[in-house]
Amino acid sequence: MDRQEAPQPLLELVGLAEIASTLGLSKQRVQELAVNDQLFPPPIAKVSGGTLYMKSMIDAFKAHRAPRPGRPSTLQVQVSEELSRIPKDRQNPVQQSLRMIYNITRLHDLKVDPSASRHQSLFAALTQTPSQDGLEPRFDREFFQPEPPGERYRILHAECEQGHNMSMWTEA
């Protein structure tokens, strides 16, 4: 009896026009963000029509994007050090997503609570990172011990104006 493998889901890719529409920005502003914003997702492919990005990464960027005028936060130095413990891998879109989502989540967590645990921030990022067969997110397991959000995290984040995935706050 032949067993047929389930078809692999296709990656949803978007170009500049779709990203501009999703973010409510002009194509020119999206191009600026792609070059200047460290949190903007990296491109997945280049074709004759332009650059393509993973839709899920753009959606995650939009969900966590909170543009503010002025200079970047000094918290970015701390988060950049922590990000050095999450390896870069341009060939692995799951790894790229984890790094981007951790960066955004961690900055947000530190703004809400300067004593926020990196372990809870990574747990939150892992729950939001899209999965893909055969590709697992990697991180320094001696530096990070992912843990579900504690009571303090829940209280502080329930009051902030940022959208949160409340399902991650319930322990299995």
Integer Cα distance of 19 and 94 in angstroms: 19
Amino acid at site 151: E
Render pLDDT for 23-44 as a digit per residue (tens, 0 to 9): 888 999 999 888 888 788 889 8
Integer Cα distance of 38 and 17 in angstroms: 20
Q: Which residues of 5-37 are buried (b: 16+ CB within 10 A; e: fewer)?
A: eeeeeeeebbbbebbbeebeeeeeebbebbeee
Strand order across the 45-47 sheet: 13-14, 50-54, 45-47
Render pLDDT for 90-131 as a digit per residue (tens, 0 to 9): 888 899 999 999 999 998 898 888 889 999 999 999 998 888
